[in-house]
Amino acid sequence: MEIQIQFRGNSKPYTPSESTTVSGKFIRQASGLDRYGHVEMVLEPIQPTVYDSRYSWEVSEDKVPSIYFDSVLEGIKRALESDDVPFDFLKSTKIRIVGGSYNEVDSSPYCYMLAAYFGFRDFLQKAGS
């Protein structure tokens, strides 16, 4: 499954110069309220198109169910909107969701949104330094 998306920011685009793997995890264990989300992404440069970026879900259902597709995309968007990253939007970038893991009891859309957010935010902070 692949969609084309436009991320719009004010001034600072990010385009990867080479293929880069990004991993994000959100794991919380508390008395009776465990939370689990893990996602692996690959960012690749692509030829410029009308749309700035492509988002591709390439992970199998047994690793991460596709019901978390929108949650992972939301986490990426929120990372770009965060004040503590040096870039506003992606340009000429393909984001491939290639792996991760899932827990039938503890996983939720919110966990995958946070896993994508933390992994992508950390990557953008390192790319900007």
Q: What CATH number is given to the structural domain containing 40?
A: 3.30.230.10
Structural domain of residue 80, as residue ranges? 2-128
Q: In which band, very low, low, confident or very high, does the pLDDT at 16 lie, cut at 50, 70 and 90?
A: confident
Q: What is the pLDDT of residues 55-112, one digit of tens each?
A: 899 999 999 999 999 999 999 989 888 887 877 777 788 899 999 999 998 999 999 9
Res 116 pLDDT > 90: yes
Q: What is the pLDDT of residue 4?
A: 64
As a whole number of angstroms, the distance between CA 96 and CA 80 comes to 17
Write down the mean pLDDT value for the chain.
85
Q: How far apart are CA 87 and CA 70, in angstroms?
A: 22
Q: What is the pTM of this model?
A: 0.85
How many domains does the chain contain in total?
1
Distance CA 112, CA 74 (A): 9
- Strands 35-45, 53-57: pairing kind: unpaired
